[in-house]
Structure 1
Amino acid sequence: MNKTDRMLAILMELQRREVTRAEDLAAIFETSVRTIYRDIQALSEAGVPLVGAPGRGYSLMEGYFLPPVSFTAEEAVTLLLGTDLVQRIFDAEYGTKAEMSRRKIEAILPERVRNEAARVGNTIKLLQLRAHAGIHPEKAYVEVLRGAVLEERKVRFGYSKKIPGPDGERQSVRTVLPYGLVFVQGAWTLVAYCELRREIRHFRVSRMSGLTVLPDFFQKPSDFNLQVYAPPDDRNLRIEIRVNPEAADRVREFRNFYWEAEEERPEGLYVTFRVRQPEEMLHWLLGFGADIVVLEPESLRKRMREEAENLFKRY
């Protein structure tokens, strides 16, 4: 990034934030603090009303606004793809806002950039992210939960959870304090404090039913930050499999969430997983039939044999 581009980016960063330290700007633009000082001085000499507070950082004088900048074709495509993605995975309200944003972006683009953005955009396509869209009112639930998170109001819902054993599923009713929504591996998950378990838990929105927003308000802990929050890793069970060489590419293509390491050997691909319980991997492994062999643990090998025997009896 040359000096001119960096100074413009610094100005936009200052406009976006109330106060920004030189050290933070240096980290963002991967340069030295001394270079940031020189850029700030150059901006001041150019007439930009900057205010410096010792020990706090720099800010723009109140009322100063940087006019909109122009977009390159690649930047425009990035923004337009973003609006498309929001329309696909968010609720109806945000979907409408995304469509309005798309129209505004297209309206301010020069014709040359707009045509080039359309040409580039026609080479990229986002397919449906959820195969079972429409079966569960997930988007409607996301809209309700999003409102509850912003208003800090408790919610109650029925929750279905798969468990090991003959029953295979457990139903419960949960009252929770919703802290935030996370979109991971094509599915929405609610991060919330569960009053039943008395701790932060994760709930797949697609497993909820009878969602209700309660009149009770709550106050989210001041030290909770969804952007840096990471749940404790309790996947302590190690699973190792061997994949036939001819099936290695297919197994990699459908890489499992619990995949931890792999090693190519003459006899095949060795893959290691870490899970909470063997049943989390059972159906994924069965999908590859005889192309994979479970090496450990023995409890999972036993379950695989039992399932194979059940299949043999049925057919």
Structure 2
Amino acid sequence: MNKTERQLAITLELQRNNKMLRAEDLAAQFETSIRTIYRDMQALSEVGVPIFGAPGQGYALMDGYFLPPVTFTVEEAVTLLLGTDFISQRLDNKYSDVVEQVQRKIEAVLPEGVREESTRIRETMRVIHAGEPQIDNKVKSYLSQVRQAILERRKIRITYLKKIADSDGTRKSMREVDPYGLTLVQGNWTLIGRCDTRKDIRHFRLSRMTDLVVLESHYVMPQEFHLSNYRPQDKRNQQVMVRANVKIADKIAETGHFYIEATEEQNDSLLVTYRVHDPEELVPYILGWGGDVEVIEPQSLCERIQEEANRILNRYRTI
């Protein structure tokens, strides 16, 4: 960062904080000396930036000074700031390393009311991972409704299709949920909230909802819940082992990486150990890899793959 860039960044930092900042803190933030900060303050004052200082307290901008003359609506500000969150996780270090600096600059040019409202909205959403699947109009509609319900602390009622059917073959269930937050996981928006039926926090993919109603009743957000710090309990306690052709190692790593616990090369094969909540979760992947994989354990999964392979074979025999 050259001198001009640093002095502009200092001005924006003073504007963003709207309080006294010590030279020592500014020097640490911009990785320079305190003496350089003193010179920067003198240079800024000479070009007309209304900075005042108080011994032992630091520097601040005079009330009413606003730089630059740019304004954003709440929606525009949220769009920009969520975009920086996306970049910090999905782009290379050249861009992710400057995300905090970009966020500071955006926040610095926001009027106080817009900044506070955009911060409140951003706290209800967190970008974890952006995958390839496109979000259809139904999910976009649910996303808007759930986001508003979170802001207003209103309960929702959903009709939900579970990934794995119950023993009686039922997948559909109706739930009332206190919506706590939204995360984008592998291209799928997921609601995190307390389910009244389960009496605990559960995750619900918006794409699996077939109906959603925002209720009039309200809920209280637990003080201990913070979306940015939330980590779901790991309930993957079943082990699955498969032997795969080493030639498809990249496919295995790309499609089932979130289940993989360990991999080990053995001659021309790859021994892969998975940790899952239910072996059924791996069935689509194993079938997709065809004859290049073999289930070693558990035996129940071997039989499940055999059963599904026979169903496929029988279907094509009738054609």
User: Normalization by structure 2: what TM-score?
Assistant: 0.65
Q: Does structure 1 residue 273 correspond to structure 2 residue 304? A: no
Give 2:133's aligned amino acid. Answer: R
**After superposition, what is the alpha-carbon deviation per residue over 1:47-87, rounded to whole angstroms, capped at 9, x for unaligned?**
353678989x9865543322169xxxxxxxxx7x959x9xx
Equivalence for 1:8: 8
Equivalence for 1:301: 302
Structure 2: how far apart are the matches of 1:152 and 1:26? 42
Equivalence for 1:216: 217
| 1:143-162 aligned within 5 A | 143-162=144-163
Query: CA 1:166/1:51 → structure 2, altered by over 3 Å: closer, same or farther?
Result: farther
Equivalence for 2:226: 225
| 1:4-153 aligned within 5 A | 4-17=4-17, 31=31, 35=32, 37=34, 41-45=38-42, 46-47=44-45, 49=51, 60-67=61-68, 82=83, 129-130=132-133, 133=136, 137-153=138-154
Does the 8 A contact of 1:153 with 1:215 survive in 2?
yes
Query: CA 1:284/1:21 → structure 2, altered by over 3 Å: closer, same or farther?
Result: farther
Gaps of 5+ in 2: 71-79, 87-130
| 3-state secondary structure, aligned to 1:235 | coil
Structure 2: how far apart are the matches of 1:40 and 1:165? 66
| 3-state secondary structure, aligned to 2:226 | coil
Does the 8 A contact of 2:51 with 2:59 survive in 1?
no
Gaps of 5+ in 1: 70-78, 86-127
Give 1:49's aligned amino acid. Answer: I
The total of aligned residue pairs comes to 256
| 3-state secondary structure, aligned to 2:221 | coil
Equivalence for 2:124: none
CA-CA distance at 1:164 after TM superposition: 5.1
Deviates more, 1:142-151 or 1:300-309: 300-309
| 3-state secondary structure, aligned to 1:299 | helix
Deviates more, 1:298-307 or 1:199-208: 298-307
Query: CA 1:240/1:152 → structure 2, altered by over 3 Å: closer, same or farther?
Result: same
| 3-state secondary structure, aligned to 1:288 | helix
Does the 8 A contact of 2:155 with 2:219 survive in 1?
yes
Structure 2: how far apart are the matches of 1:164 and 1:52? 68
Query: CA 1:149/1:40 → structure 2, altered by over 3 Å: closer, same or farther?
Result: farther
**After superposition, what is the alpha-carbon deviation per residue over 1:12-50, rounded to whole angstroms, capped at 9, x for unaligned?**
344344569879878876x4xxx4755654454333536
User: Normalization by structure 1: what TM-score?
Assistant: 0.66
Structure 2: how far apart are the matches of 1:259 and 1:28? 40
| 3-state secondary structure, aligned to 2:171 | strand
Structure 1: how far apart are the matches of 2:202 and 2:28? 34
Equivalence for 2:99: none
| 3-state secondary structure, aligned to 1:9 | helix
**After superposition, what is the alpha-carbon deviation per residue over 1:199-249, rounded to whole angstroms, capped at 9, x for unaligned?**
111111111122111111222123322122111222122222222133333
Equivalence for 2:174: 173
Equivalence for 1:103: none
Structure 2: how far apart are the matches of 1:302 and 1:59? 71
Query: CA 1:140/1:238 → structure 2, altered by over 3 Å: closer, same or farther?
Result: same
Q: What CA RMSD, in Å, does the superposition of the two structures yield over aligned residues?
A: 3.8
| 3-state secondary structure, aligned to 2:229 | coil
% same residue: 47
Structure 2: how far apart are the matches of 1:27 and 1:272? 46
Does the 8 A contact of 1:7 with 1:39 survive in 2?
no
Does the 8 A contact of 2:132 with 2:187 survive in 1?
yes
Give 1:143's aligned amino acid. Answer: S
Equivalence for 1:243: 244
User: Which of 1 and 2 has higher RCO (CA within 8 Å, sep 6+)?
Assistant: 2
Structure 2: how far apart are the matches of 1:221 and 1:202? 17
